[in-house]
Amino acid sequence: MALVDLDAVEHNVEVVRRAVGPAAVMAVVKADAYGHGLVPVARAALAGGATWLGVAHVHEALALRGAGVEADVLAWILTPGTDLLPAVRAGIDVSVSAVWALESLVAAARATGRCARVHLEVDTGMSRGGASPAEWPALLDAVAKHVDAGDVVVRGTWAHFASADVAGDPSVPAQLQAFEAALRTAREHGVDPGLRHHANSAAAFFVPQARYDLVRAGLAVYGLSPAPERATAAELGLRPAMTLAARLAHVRRVPAGAGVSYGLTYTAQADTTLGLVPVGYGDGVPRHASWDGRRSGEVLVAGARRRIAGRVCMDQVVVDLGDDAAEAGDLAVVFGPGEAGEATADDWAAAAGTISWEIVTRIGSRVPRVHTGRAAGRGA
Ligand SMILES: *Cc1c(COP(=O)(O)O)cnc(C)c1O
Q: Are residues 84 and 200 in the same domain?
A: yes
- In this prediction, residue 375 carries a pLDDT of 73
In the annotated binding site for substrate, the residues are 128, 314
**Domain end: 226, 252, 285, which one?**
226
Q: Give the pLDDT of residue 261.
A: 97
Domain that holds residue 256: 242-374
Distance 162 CA to ligand 1 centre (A): 10
Band of pLDDT at residue 374, cut at 50, 70 and 90: confident
Q: Ligand 1: list residues with CB < 6 Å.
A: 28, 30, 76, 160, 200-202, 216-219, 226, 357
Distance CA 202, CA 300 (A): 29
Distance from Cα 297 to the centre of ligand 1, integer Å: 26
Q: Please confirm whether the linkage preceding 22 is cis (ω < 30° from 0).
A: yes
- Of the residues 201, 226, 251, the one at which a domain ends: 226
Which CATH number covers residue 337? Answer: 2.40.37.10
235 falls within a domain: no
Burial degree of 284 (CB within 10 A; 0-12, 13-18, 19+): buried
- Asked if 231 and 201 count as a contact pair (C-beta separation under 8 A), the reply is no
Identify which of 96, 179, 216 to mutate to test ligand 1's pocket (most ligand atoms within 8 A of the CB).
Answer: 216
Do 315 and 220 fall into the same domain? Answer: no
263 and 368 belong to one structural domain: yes
Distance (Å, rounded) from C-alpha 34 to C-alpha 224? Answer: 11
As a whole-number percent, the residues of the chain with pLDDT over 90 amount to 98
Determine the atom of ligand 1 nearest the C-alpha atom of 30: 1
Do 110 and 172 belong together in one domain? Answer: yes
Last residue of a domain, one of 157, 192, 226: 226
pLDDT bin (cut points 50, 70, 90) of residue 378 is low
DSSP 279-345: --GGGT--GGGS--SS---EEEETTEEEEB-S---SS-EEEEEET----TT-EEEEESSSTTS---H
**186 and 161, same domain (yes or no):** yes
Q: What is the Cα–Cα distance from 48 to 10, expressed in whole angstroms?
A: 4
Summarize the annotated binding site as residue ranges.
128, 314
pLDDT score, position 380: 45
Same domain as 278, residue 216? no
Atom of ligand 1 nearest to the CA of 158: 13
The count of domains in the chain is: 2
| Residue 70 CB coordination number (10 Å) | 10
Told to judge if 30 belongs to the known catalytic residues of this protein, a careful annotator would answer yes
φ, ψ for residue 256, nearest 5 deg: -50, 140
Domain presence at residue 182: yes
Q: Which of 20, 25, 28 to mutate to test the pocket of ligand 1 (most atoms within 8 A of CB)?
A: 28
* Position 232 in a domain: no
Shared domain check, 114 and 165: yes
Residue 30 pLDDT exceeds 80 = yes
pTM above 0.95, yes or no: yes
Ligand 1: nearest atom to the Cα of 160: 13
Domain assignment present for residue 237? The answer is: no
Pairing state of beta strands 317-322 and 272-277?
A: antiparallel
pLDDT digits (tens, 9 = 90+) for 39-67: 999 999 999 999 999 999 999 999 999 99
CA distance 372 to 281: 25
Per-residue pLDDT reduced to its tens digit, 310-333 = 999 999 999 999 999 999 999 999
Query: Is residue 231 in a domain?
Result: no
Is residue 275 located within the same domain as residue 220? Answer: no
Distance 30 CA to ligand 1 centre (A): 9
Rg over CA atoms, the chain: 23
3-state DSSP call for residue 96? strand
Residue 80 sits in the same domain as residue 212: yes
Specify whether 51 is located in the same domain as 129. yes
Looking from the CA of residue 129, the nearest atom of ligand 1 is 13
Q: Is 212 a catalytic residue?
A: no
Quote the ligand 1 centre to 98 CA distance (angstroms). Answer: 20
Catalytic residue among 30, 222, 266, 281: 30
Arithmetic mean of pLDDT, 335-362: 98
The arithmetic mean of pLDDT across residues 115-140, rounded, is 98
